[in-house]
Amino acid sequence: MVWALDQPLAPCLHRYKYRLFYGRSGECFVRYDNERGKGDHRHADGEESAYDFTTLEALLADFERDVTEWRMP
């Protein structure tokens, strides 16, 4: 899900709040999200890393790419 905000969610400079999730109950395979104080980040393979948000289109493409790579044997 992606929400358009009136103001950026610090420390982000863009005006989106998002949570993109691929997994199943109790198990996260890939997740992109942002939160106040933490900023943009990505979860994959049990690791969390910073994510460099550039555009909404790039975010969606990066998420789709990660899901596709995760699903490949």
Question: pLDDT tens, position by position, for the chain (73 residues)?
Answer: 999 999 999 999 999 999 999 999 889 999 999 999 999 999 998 899 999 999 999 999 999 999 999 887 6
Q: How far is CA 7 from CA 2, 14, 58, 61, in A?
A: 14, 8, 21, 24
Q: Which domain holds residue 62?
A: 2-71
Angle at 62 between CA 4 and CA 32, to 5 degrees: 55
Total domain count for the chain? 1
Q: Which pTM value belongs to this model?
A: 0.89
